[in-house]
Each structure stands twice: as C-alpha cells, then as structure tokens.
Amino acid sequence: MARKIRVLIAKPGLDGHDRGARIISRGLRDAGMEVVYTGLHQTPEQIVEAAIQEDVDAVGLSILSGAHMTLFPRIYDLLKENNAGDIMIIGGGTIPEDDIRELKKNGWVSEIFTPGITIDTIVEWINSNVKPE
Amino acid sequence: MSYKIDEISSQKNTWLEQRKKMTDRDFKFETVSGFPTNDIYTPEDITGLDYVNDLGMPGQYPYTRGVQANMYRGRLWTMRQFAGFATARESNERYRYLLSKGTTGLSVAFDMPTIMGYDSDHPRSLGEVGRVGVAIDSLQDMETLFSGIPLEKVSTSMTINAPASVLWCMYIAAGEKQGVPSEKLTGTIQNDILKEYIAQKSWIFPPEPSLRIITDIFAYACKHVPKWNTVSISGYHIREAGSTAAQELAFTLANGFAYIEAGMAAGLDVDDFAPRLSHFFNAHIDLFEEIAKYRAARRIWARHLKEKYGAKNQKSWMLRFHTQTAGCSLTAQQPENNIVRTAFEALSAVLGGTQSLHTNSMDEVLALPSEKAVQIALRTQQIMAYETGVANVIDPLAGSYYVEALTNKMEEEAEKYFAEIEKRGGVLAAIDQSFFQQEIADAAYQFQREVDKKKRIMIGVNEFVNDDEHLEIDLLKIDPQIEKDQVARLHKLRSERDNLRVGETLDALRKAAAGTDNLIPLILDCVKAYATEGEIIQVMREVFGQYKEKPIF
C-alpha cells in the first residue's frame, strides 16, 4: 500500500490572510493526507527548507498579497537548486487569470485554485496528480 | 398597542395546528452564522424587554437606538472609502479624486511592508511594495501622501496596527509642516493589536509591550491630540477570518474591555481615554442578524463601561462605530452580483446606526478596485442616503419582535463568551491558549463545508452558475517599476538626511523603550529627523522581541 500523500501548506509573504490556508489544511487532513502547516510570514527559503525536511510530495502556497509573480518562481527555483524539483507546487488565492496562465506556462506552478473552489475538488486533483514516492 | 400574552399564546397554538399541516421548502432556516430562526416572532419572544432600561431613546443610555439624539437627520454617516496603493503620489491623486466625488473622510490602506514595519528595500519587502496599499517609509512619503489636502479639514483613518505609533507620529509631523497643530487633527488609527493576534495576524512585538505602546498613545493623545480616535476596536477582521456574528461581537468587545483595563492599569482615568475609542464592525449578508449585532454592541458597551468600569462621562459609554461590508461574502464568480450584496450589507449598517461606512467594490475578490468599481460602491451609499428614505427615521426596526429577540440573543451569547474568556484568565491568556483562533477556525471550516455541500447557497458559486463565464471588468494592475522607484527614493533620503541626528533620536528611543517613559515624544523626534519606519521599528524590536504564533488549523 502506498503511503499517505504528504503536503506542506505554506503562507509566504507578509500578509496574514490565513483563512484559506487553514481551511485547506484541515480539509486535506480530513481527506486522509498528512498535512504540515507552516504558519504565517514565511520566506521562500523557510518554505523550501520545511518542504525538504518534512519530505513532502507537494507544496501548497496560499497567496493573497499580490506578490504571486515574485513568490512562485522564487520557490520553484529554490526547490530546483536544492535537488527537490520533484516536489509539486500548487497554489491558491486572489490570482488573476492572466497571471495564472503565465505561471503555468513557465512551469512555476502545476495548478492554481481560486476563490469558489470546493475542498473536494482540490482533494481529487491532488489524489490524481500527486503520487507519493 | 395592547395585548395579553395568554391570548397571544392561545392564538399561536391555533396557528401552529394549521401550520404543522404545511410542508416547508428544503432549506436551512438559520442566520448566516448558524443561529436557527423561528418562523415567526411575537410579543412572547420579548416578554422581558424593558423599553426604558433596555432600549431608551437615541443619544441616551444604553444607546441601543443610537448614539446621537437626531442620528442621520443631523448628519449622514461618513462615506469613507478605504483606498491606497502604489506610492504616496498615486494615492494622493486617488484621495483628491475621492474628495472631488463627494467622499467626506479619507481612509488610508498601507502596503504589507509598511504594515509589518519593514522599509521598502528590506529583503522581506520584495514584490510587496505598493501592492495592497501605499508604501510609506518616512515622513517624506507622508508629506507627499497629504500634499494639497488640508489636514485641519479632513478626517483621516489609517488602517495600521503594530507600527501605528510610528505612522501616527508621521501624520502629526506632516500636520505640523502644514501649520496644523496636533490639537486640531481628527481621525483614527486602527491600533488594535489584540485582533491581530486573534485574526488578522499582522503583529510585530509580543502582546505586553504592544499594550504598553497603546497606553502610551492614550496618554499622549488626551494631552496633545484630543480629537483623535486612538483605537478602532475591530471585529471586521475577526469576521473576515471566518467567525460568526456573535463571535465577532464578543471577541471585539472583549478586546475593547482589555484596552480599558490596560489604560486603567497604566494609571489613566477611564474617562480620559475611553471617549476616544471607536469600533469597527463587519456588515455581513444576513440583514437582521447584523442589525441586531450593532444594537447589542452599543448596549453591552454602555453597560460594561458604566457599571463595571465606573465611567462617568457619557462619551465613554457610547459605542461609535465604522462599518465595512463583508469582503468574504463576495464572489469571484459573476462579480457584478457583488454590487447587490454590498448594497444589502450597507443597508444593515445604516439601519444599525453606523457612524461611517465603507462599501466594497465589486472587483475586490479579484484585485485592488478599479476606479469605476469604486465609484459604483460610493454611489450605492449615496442612493441609500438620498433616495431610499432609510435615513429618515432613527432605529426604524426597534420594536420588531424578531430584531429585539435577536438583539437580546446577541447580548446573551456575548456575555457567555466574556465568562469563558474570564475563566481562561483574560484576553491575553486566551490568545496564548489559541482559544479565539481555534473558535474562528472551526466556524470558518464548518461554513466552507456547508458551501461545498450546497447546504448553503452562494449565487454564482454553487447555484445559478454561469458555465461560460469570462470576466468582463478591467482590473487594476500595479506596475513593478513602482517598487524600484520607491526604493530609489528611500536611498536618496538616507543619503541626504542628517544621519547623526537620526542615530541620536534612535538611541534615545532605544533607552526609553527599555525603561518606562512614554515613547510617543521620542518616536516623534525620530520621525522628524526622517528616520525610516523600518529603522524605528527595528530599534523597538531589538528591545521588545518578535511575536511568534503557534500555527493551528
């Protein structure tokens, strides 16, 4: 039997909007995943360190500060530099469509979930796209 | 009106017989906070209500019906639209635009680095400068922000908390430069650090030194800036984080009482600072629940201030409040529908007797509001004020069996929470135990689950969905060049100012922070020497330390 999917939910940036991050953390846990939540105000370096230390399969970044075009690529690069490029990056928050297209096109993020999505949709997506190794 | 309760009861029983035979829609008949509602309310539901003691007249204790004797017949609520983005210059232009369109008070939104006490060139500020509000690094930016706006004429609300003392000093100094003495300045700093630990999470220092700075502000304000609202005790963010209406009410007022107790413990007379405390509530989508919440808030505050804290000045008893419609009730889907939601929410605030109001723009779920969306939001208030007639009569829903029963229920629920907080050792202890945080997280999760399972309907999200939806409104974009320009301006300032003087003022602040002197005059000296916000906060951080939260979910 494959082990449980491990996910790090992280809040990069300076804002404190953690409602979404905490709901998703609990939702994924209730769906049987192992969830680590970083807490607020994490730097990209702290997030990447936590992802590697916790040996997660995916990192979920919750960003509502408008800094997504800086933060996603930065975390993507840091994971690669640390030989952890196999960790999948997903995201959520107030991120305009144009930016989502740009982020996905460059491979900086695998999927982005925007307001109005259900927890079950996210769970299904992770279950079919993230394979625990 | 005359009635006999037993006659009503017998009539109600007959009605119940008839009613039982009928089938109801499959729908959850409860408030948005999950309070079950009866299908009808009658005098039976408010038998204990004593008009004179529980309601009274507007402008009279316990102020359930409003804080002014003539309410909106004297002056309409202040239409205060929260705005701020990019640099001081761009925001200054937006303020002048808003003033020219009839807005009557300014409300400054700061960017995240400013809110967290970092200068624009700090590594943690990268990508965040000017994004969600205006970037202010020094007095120079504050001067630009209010250039051409006479500070003795406008009242300014600043949404700033952990570093509120610094931004407030910059405002006082900017006023001085315009020739306006601090005694004439009017406005508000949010300065509500307790709700930061509970909900909004923009903290810097631990709770104890944070409370000391706040009581320093109280003491300084009552001598030098007497017309300033020193704390805006905020439920808004507690609600946005996912709380229920009753939790918003209870946690906000509990925080307010904690400030009262801190001020009194610092040796101040409650009547010297309590009149300058104001409140800030959320206007969520459940119309009656919100109206009941505002009415209960006034009654609870008045009763506690008078009876528990012994305040004698009527102004200490009065709960004045600002309202903002609920950002969390808006949807990214079919965003134009948000205009309608916001209008209903604004109506609750006005029927509940708010002193000022911000109406959200339809596109706020997606980005910072565009100019057109901002105008529609302001026009919503103006239509309500001048066309609908809702401002003609004071507290028009008083006497409604439902609204009065719900107001009583709100008060009861809040008192239960006050008892629980007391049992836990007070607000600071409850924060340390993650009590508020967990209560809010539970409520938020439950709400989301209900939306997901369609037990709660959100139009355009889980019902009446447009499949082929694509966005037809223009979004405001922030040019990344703004960050570079702001950093360049900051570097220029650092090279041109008298750095010796900056060092002296910062050293003096460091010494005072380690002691017990009032910090405000020292922060003012730093600000006037053009020390930056980040430099001033760093000095205090070195003395006070940095707060760290236990991440729970």
H-only helix segments in B179-286? 194-195, 207-224, 236-240, 245-265, 270-273
Chain A contact set for B549 (CB, 8 A): 39-40
Closest CA to A122 of A85, A96, A101, A92: A92
pLDDT at A70 over 70: yes
Region B175-184: mean pLDDT is 97
* Each residue's pLDDT tens digit, A77-87: 999 999 999 99
pLDDT at B293 over 90: yes
A58 strand-pairing partners: A7, A88
Using only C-alpha atoms, chain B has a radius of gyration, in whole angstroms, of 24
Q: What 3-state DSSP class applies to B134?
A: strand
- Supply the pLDDT for residue A15: 85
pLDDT at B85 over 80: no
Closest CA to B216 of B518, B526, B547, B546: B518
- Supply the pLDDT for residue B86: 80
Chain B contact set for A70 (CB, 8 A): 126-127
A99 and B CB contact within 8 Å: no
* Residue B196 near residue B236 (C-beta atoms within 8 A): no
Strand order in the sheet with B155-159: B82-83, B106-109, B155-159, B186-189, B228-229
Size of the A and B interface in Cβ pairs below 8 Å: 102
With a pLDDT cut of 90, the percent of chain A lying above it is 81
- Supply the pLDDT for residue B132: 84
* Each residue's pLDDT tens digit, B347-389: 999 999 999 999 999 998 887 788 889 899 999 999 999 999 9
Q: What is the ipTM of this complex?
A: 0.90
Closest CA to B523 of B165, B235, B88, B1: B165
Mutate to test the interface with B, among A17, A65, A113, A122 (most CBs of B within 10 A): A17
As a three-state string, the secondary structure of B433-502 is CCHHHHHHHHHHHHHHHHHHCCCCCCECCCECCCCCCCCCCCCCCCCCHHHHHHHHHHHHHHHHCCHHHH
Facing A115 at nearest CB: one of B126, B332, B445 = B332
- Using the beta-carbon criterion (under 8 Å), do A43 and B449 form an inter-chain contact? no
B508 and A CB contact within 8 Å: no
Closest CA to B356 of B529, B114, B156: B156
Closest CA to B272 of B311, B326, B327: B311
* Spatial distance between the Cα atoms of B443 and B53, rounded to a whole number of angstroms: 33
A25 and B CB contact within 8 Å: yes
Amino acid at B350: V
In the block, tokens 């006037």 appear at B528
B552 and A CB contact within 8 Å: yes
Amino acid at A129: N
* Spatial distance between the Cα atoms of B449 and B422, rounded to a whole number of angstroms: 31
B125 and A CB contact within 8 Å: yes
pLDDT at B83 over 80: no
- Supply the pLDDT for residue B368: 77
In the block, tokens 């009569």 appear at B393
B196 and A CB contact within 8 Å: yes
Amino acid at B143: E
Facing A18 at nearest CB: one of B125, B128, B201 = B201
Phi, psi of B536, rounded to the nearest 5 degrees:
-65, -45
Region B463-488: mean pLDDT is 84
B132 and A CB contact within 8 Å: yes
In the block, tokens 């509602």 appear at B37
B332: nearest CA partner in chain A: A115
* Spatial distance between the Cα atoms of B354 and B256, rounded to a whole number of angstroms: 18
* Each residue's pLDDT tens digit, B269-280: 999 999 999 999
A101 and B CB contact within 8 Å: no
Mean of the per-residue pLDDT values of chain A = 93
* Spatial distance between the Cα atoms of B394 and A10, rounded to a whole number of angstroms: 48
B449 and A CB contact within 8 Å: yes
- Supply the pLDDT for residue B471: 67
Shortest Cα–Cα distance, B245 to chain A (Å): 16
From its phi and psi, is residue B398 left (phi > 0), alpha (psi between -120 and 50) or beta?
beta
Chain B contact set for A97 (CB, 8 A): 471
pLDDT at B342 over 70: yes
- Using the beta-carbon criterion (under 8 Å), do B552 and A22 form an inter-chain contact? yes
Q: What 3-state DSSP class applies to B109?
A: strand
Facing B241 at nearest CB: one of A19, A70, A71 = A19
Q: What 3-state DSSP class applies to B281?
A: strand
Domains of chain B: 49-79+190-412 (3.20.20.240), 493-544 (no CATH)
Mean of the per-residue pLDDT values of chain B = 95
With a pLDDT cut of 70, the percent of chain B lying above it is 99
Please enumerate in sequence order all residues whose Cβ is within 8 A of that of B266, keeping only pairs 6 or more positions apart, or say none: B212, B215, B218, B219
- Supply the pLDDT for residue B472: 64
Mutate to test the interface with A, among B364, B445, B470 (most CBs of A within 10 A): B445
Region B165-169: mean pLDDT is 98
Chain A contact set for B445 (CB, 8 A): 22-23, 26-27
With a pLDDT cut of 90, the percent of chain B lying above it is 87
A114 and B CB contact within 8 Å: yes
- Supply the pLDDT for residue B473: 66
* Residue B325 near residue B291 (C-beta atoms within 8 A): no
- Supply the pLDDT for residue B369: 84
Q: Give residue A13's pLDDT band: very low, low, confident or very high (50, 70, 90).
A: confident
Closest CA to B480 of A14, A66, A11, A44: A66
Q: Give residue A1's pLDDT band: very low, low, confident or very high (50, 70, 90).
A: low
Closest CA to A61 of A93, A31, A97, A87: A93
Mutate to test the interface with A, among B122, B124, B132 (most CBs of A within 10 A): B132
pLDDT at B121 over 90: yes
Q: Give residue B31's pLDDT band: very low, low, confident or very high (50, 70, 90).
A: very high
pLDDT at B535 over 80: yes
- Using the beta-carbon criterion (under 8 Å), do A40 and B201 form an inter-chain contact? yes
Which residues, numbered 33 to 72 in chain A, qualify as contacts with chain B under a Cβ-Cβ cut-off of 8 Å?
35, 37-41, 43, 65-67, 69-71
- Using the beta-carbon criterion (under 8 Å), do B365 and A16 form an inter-chain contact? no
Domains of chain A: 6-128 (3.40.50.280)
- Using the beta-carbon criterion (under 8 Å), do B365 and A27 form an inter-chain contact? no
B367: nearest CA partner in chain A: A94
